[in-house]
Amino acid sequence: MPYDAPRPPSAGPGAAFFDVDNTLMRGASIYHFARGLASRDLFTTRDLLRFAWGQTVFRVTGAEQPDHINAAREAALAFVAGHDVGDLVALCEEIYDDSMADRIWEGTRRLVQRHLDAGQPVWLVTATPVELAQIIRRRLGLTGALGTEAESVDGVYTGRLNGDLMHGPAKAVAVRALARREGWDLAACSAYSDSSNDLPLLSLVGHPHAVNPDGDLRRYARTHQWPVHDFRRHRKALKVAVPAAVAGAVAGGVAVRAVRHRRRA
């Protein structure tokens, strides 16, 4: 369905919540981050392969089975454990500027701006690490960000999570708590996502929107007469966007290793 610009939201006791991957940004932000780390020699090829596989299973299947969730959790934690929080945040800033800033969907950026112009808070709600989500928030001038939180002690990541992955039902729980704290009326709030995994969040607010939706979300949105915004030009290419991102991440890691090997030789 082509993009049909909605009327600007009226200012009121509500907020807008945006998913990041494939909603605000083309592709998966965590893959771009992983590739950036690989190019800076912070991954071995084995780490990258393990991470890519765990995230692929999690994102492509969209499954809620505990073994898939755990695989994604372990892969995400493996590459931050033992690293200094400040160092990784600084790298996040570099990687965003180098390879993520130009991946923001202009159409979604316009949707965000409508809410900001109407005086409404705009929050990111994403499974990506909260440190990366906060950088995106600052770069785009948004209000706040909820993301997956990795535990740290004395400024070093432990390899454990604070709470659960910010995914599926966890997003709805977090947004409900945030709305209660801020005094927002959820019926006056809006939410935007590309994934049927986010139906708990989308169903929580009074104004749900499907952005670049997967097949299940598109069907659900049409059935329930939700607005659908599709900013993609090449549907066939986007059907394999996640596997392609994995291939790119793995290829990046292999290339780094190959360069190292040639230098040693």
pLDDT in tens, 120-158: 999 999 988 898 999 999 999 999 999 988 888 998 888
Considering the segment(s) 16-264 as one domain, its CATH architecture is 3-Layer(aba) Sandwich (3.40)
102 DSSP 8-state letter: G
59 DSSP 8-state letter: H
Contact predicate 122/143, CB 8 Å? yes
d(CA 72, CA 52): 9
pLDDT digits (tens, 9 = 90+) for 6-23: 444 544 579 999 999 999
Contact predicate 228/210, CB 8 Å? yes
Least confident of 93-97, 203-207, 242-246: 242-246
E strands present in the chain: 16-18, 122-129, 144-148, 150-153, 156-161, 190-193, 207-211, 228-229
- Options 21, 194, 198, 214, the catalytic residue: 21
- Options 4, 19, 41, 216, the catalytic residue: 19
- pTM greater than 0.75: yes
19 carries an active-site annotation:
yes
d(CA 12, CA 15): 8
d(CA 204, CA 96): 31
Residue with tokens 């292999």: 254
Sketch the domain layout of the chain as residue ranges. Answer: 16-264
159 confidence band (pLDDT: 50, 70, 90): confident
